[in-house]
Amino acid sequence: MSRISARLEQLASAGRKAVVPYIVAGDPSPDTTVPLMHELVAQGADIVELGVPFSDPMAEGPVIQLGHERALMHRATLRDILAMVAEFRRTDNETPVVLMGYANPVERIGYEAFAREAAAAGVDGVLIVDMPPEEAGDLTDQLRPAGIDMIFLLAPTTTDERIRKVAAMASGYLYCVSLKGVTGAGHLDVSAVAALLARIKAITSLPVTVGFGIKDAASASAIARVADGVVIGSALVERVAAATREGRSTEELARDTAALIGEIRAAVDAL
């Protein structure tokens, strides 16, 4: 059983829901990421999603796009991010880490080399936003023997037939996009999310997390009532941006950013 599956099974057995923060690796600087990861875990994160900086992050709204730009100013590469995960693993060998990004950097390294290096660094899951299941077979074939879960997105527009296709290839969990739009959009419709999750749950037993549009304790709590976990991205990246504008130290940035996860953890656990 993968580290992701073990964590989600443990939470489900305890009647709890996963809190999954997303940050852009290398934002606002390479030396900020690992301290922030540790602080997120201290505040209650169950899985950490690391965005791999990319020049054209098509699924992202303006907040996360700017996070990618700040990271790329320091020329953060995929191998730099793997080094960050390895550093994180020196003192945390329990919290699952998922890389979320785009196909080009992985293809530049090569699937076999990427799977080998990601496993050695301690990566648990990979989500490639622009790699549909029809194109993901070769990468999945490299990741699976390395013990790395391949995670896919589902959207409000996904048909039942496609949910079956995705679920057959996925492992760890499925990431359900809550709305038609990009990250950080504000029109979260909980009833529509619940209906989509009911369709997904009728097809697969894989856990389902929900992201896009979850900004605070109230929205996280509402979604956690119907999902296995909640993903918080833009709201965290905006806190990173604010701390950067204010010239905060790495310690202050990590504390102020991760405080949101503490609020969400408390709200979700109160269900």
Query: pLDDT (tens digit, 9 = 90+) per residue, 5-17?
Result: 999 999 999 999 9
Domains and CATH numbers, the chain: 3-269 (3.20.20.70)
Burial (CB count <10 Å: 0-12, 13-18, 19+), residue 109: middle
Query: What tens digit of pLDDT does each residue of 165-176 get?
Result: 999 999 999 999
pLDDT at position 60 is: 83
Is residue 118 within 8 Å of 88, Cβ to Cβ?
no
Supply the pLDDT for residue 182: 46
Instruction: List the strands of the sheet with 174-177, edge to edge.
Output: 149-151, 125-128, 97-101, 48-51, 18-24, 229-232, 208-211, 174-177, 153-154
Question: For the segment 204-227, what is each residue's pLDDT rounded down to a tens digit?
Answer: 999 999 998 899 999 999 999 999
pLDDT level of residue 61 (50, 70, 90 thresholds)? confident
In this predicted structure, the answer to whether residue 269 has a pLDDT above a threshold of 50 is: yes
Question: What confidence category does residue 188 fall into, taking pLDDT thresholds of 50, 70 and 90?
Answer: confident
pLDDT given at position 70: 96
Q: Is 12 helix (H, G, I), strand (E, B) or coil?
A: helix
pLDDT digits (tens, 9 = 90+) for 96-110: 999 999 999 999 999
Average pLDDT over the chain, rounded to whole?
95
> What letters, b where the CB count within 10 A reaches 16 and e where it falls short, cover 44-64?
bbbbbbbbbbbeebebbbebb
Could you tell me the pTM of the whole model? 0.96
